[in-house]
Amino acid sequence: MSVFRLFCAGLAALACAQLPGQAVEKEAVGKGDFPALQFLPPGSVVEGISLPRYEGHRVSALLMAEKLEVLNRTSARLTQIRSYLTSEAGETTCVQLPLAHYDFTWKLMRSLRPPALLIHPRYSARGEGVIFNNAKGCGLLLGPVTTSFFSLESRRPGS
């Protein structure tokens, strides 16, 4: 058994451990990250979803998907995803995935099918997949990866 699998098994055991006298509370699906999903039982399918994230009055992220399927209390499968991440400076990065799995416990989105596309005003990248940590706001593009960088001058209309 690899060290990584042992580590994951240990984390799973810790997550499932219950202290004596501690009540087990079943959280609703998506509570915290996506509160609108808390009323959906496992097996539910929602089409044409749009889930914004706000920082103050500014929309900092927008997750759109053709379909969301609630798999269980801790995870969902999304198809045809477009996620828009907007910086404080107003630059928007678009992440496009054909199919992904979201884990509400770990706050991780993992693509299930290539390609993964990142589109930004200054670069674009295409990889085999992506893992995104929603809690930390960072991700990893899995390879092989092809990246193109653009001059801001070359991106102007009419250039």
Range(s) of the domain holding residue 72: 29-149
Q: Where are the alpha helices (DSSP H) in 57-117?
A: none
pLDDT digits (tens, 9 = 90+) for 25-39: 344 555 566 666 778
Query: What is the value of pTM for the model shown?
Result: 0.70
Can you spell out the DSSP letters for 77-97?
EEEEEEEEEE-TTS-EEEEEE
Taking all residues of the chain, what is their mean pLDDT, rounded to a whole number? 79
Assigned domain for 86 exists: yes
Could you tell me which residues are beta bridge partners of residue 34? none
Residue 71 and residue 79 in contact, taking contact as beta carbons nearer than 8 Å? no
In a domain, 4, yes or no: no
Neighbours of 124 (CB within 10 A): 16
Q: Is residue 133 part of a domain?
A: yes
> 95 lies in a domain?
yes
Predicted pLDDT of residue 52: 87
CA–CA–CA angle 114, 65, 56 (5° rounding): 115
DSSP-based three-state secondary structure for 115: coil
In a domain, 131, yes or no: yes
**pLDDT value, residue 95:** 94
Does the residue 6 lie in any domain? no
Rounded distance between C-alpha atoms, residue 71 and residue 66, angstroms: 16
**What is the structure's pLDDT at 104?**
86
E strand residue ranges, 39-74: 45-55, 58-72
Instruction: Give bridge partners of residue 93 from the DSSP assignment.
Output: 85
CATH code where residue 46 lies: 2.60.450.10
Residue 125 in domain: yes
Considering its fold, how many domains does the chain have in total?
Answer: 1
Mean pLDDT of 146-152: 90
pLDDT tens digit sequence for 54-108: 888 888 889 999 999 999 988 999 999 999 988 888 899 999 999 999 998 888 9
d(CA 148, CA 114): 18
Query: With contact defined as beta carbons under 8 Å apart, do 8 and 1 qualify?
Result: no
Q: Is residue 47 part of a domain?
A: yes
